[in-house]
Amino acid sequence: MKATSNPFPIAADHTVVKFDNPGQYAAWIESNATASVKDMVNGSNFYNGETYSTAARKIVTGCKETAARADKLMSKLNATTPATVKRVKRKSPFGRVSVGAYLAADPMPCRVMVKEKTQAAPLTIVVNVICDARTKTADLEARGIAIAALVKRVSKTRPVSLMICASGQADGADKALALVKFPTAPLDSYRLAFMLSNAGFTRGLNFCFYRSIGKISGCKQGSESIGYFNGPDYEDAPESRMKLHLQDFLGTEVFYMPGLTPWSKDGRAAIDNPVKWLNDTCDALK
């Protein structure tokens, strides 16, 4: 795990911490969050009634019920996504002989494995799970389930690099960004569904991260208030600065999904009509 100060050319007090997997993120929070910060999460409806320890455990075990709902939603998809490059058998005057083709007097009884070309390319997806305090936990879950269904669908047909992003600032002093790499080969839908949709993670454990980032950035914490990473001029644009800065930081093209902030124009699309949102997004990724 590496902490990099000021990776974005916007302010001197931004800190990004990149984690190689969800377990590493949970371990960092466990080591850096104080007991008082963890206690703020316990039993609160704001955090879906999860205790800190239960939310931390579900980063490892996931949530079967939520994943099942994502699978059910994915079954309603109409759109298709392009396949990645794969190997297929083709007729050839060289290669391995097909006995069946030879006995059938096929003039080209041999077969070779060749790469089938498509236009698909590896896709980097960054999902920001920050949400407005007024967002209902049911809406938060609905959006997360829709995104989980999308990731699972796309990963079946092309390479996907997925990062779950938690951005915020504690006490107006620290602007912190956690980038948690989520393994997609194979894809653990139980953990994915929990991390994208459950307030125990999106609000609870990420709250612990924001409140503990002072240990890296050197800023002192005061109140328990949490603010947004940046305002609408940073997030609310077709090619937002947040997306462009993520691309600079990661060194690759990014399909970025902003969090549920007050200025998010498309934030409710996955909540109000998830099937249409899934189909439209799959079409856009072709």
> Given this model, what pLDDT does residue 163 score?
94
Among the residue ranges 86-95, 150-159, 163-172, the one predicted with the least confidence is 86-95
> Given this model, what pLDDT does residue 127 score?
92
**Higher-confidence position of 241 and 181:** 181
Q: What is the pLDDT of residues 29-85, one digit of tens each?
A: 999 888 988 988 888 888 888 899 999 998 888 888 888 888 887 777 765 555 444
Number of residues that make up the chain:
286
Q: What is the pLDDT of residues 252-283, one digit of tens each?
A: 888 988 888 776 766 788 888 888 988 888 88
* DSSP one-letter code for 8: S
The H-or-E segment that residue 283 falls in is helix 274-284
Alpha-carbon dihedral sign for residues 70, 72, 78, 80: positive
Q: What is the DSSP string of 97-118?
A: E-HHHHHTT-S--EEEEEEEP-
> Given this model, what pLDDT does residue 70 score?
81
Determine the Cα–Cα distance for residues 179 and 162; give it in Å rounded to an integer.
Answer: 10
Alpha carbon of 31 to those of 59, 149, 176, 228, 270: distances in Å? 15, 32, 17, 24, 35
> Given this model, what pLDDT does residue 246 score?
82
> Given this model, what pLDDT does residue 126 score?
93
- Find where tokens 């409710």 sit: 268
> Given this model, what pLDDT does residue 94 score?
56
Q: What is the pLDDT of residues 211-233, one digit of tens each?
A: 887 655 555 554 445 555 555 56
Task: With cut-offs at 50, 70 and 90, classify the pLDDT of residue 25.
Answer: very high
The whole-model pTM stands at: 0.77
Determine the Cα–Cα distance for residues 223 and 169; give it in Å rounded to an integer.
Answer: 12
> Given this model, what pLDDT does residue 22 score?
92
Query: Are 164 and 2 spatial neighbours (Cβ–Cβ below 8 Å)?
Result: no
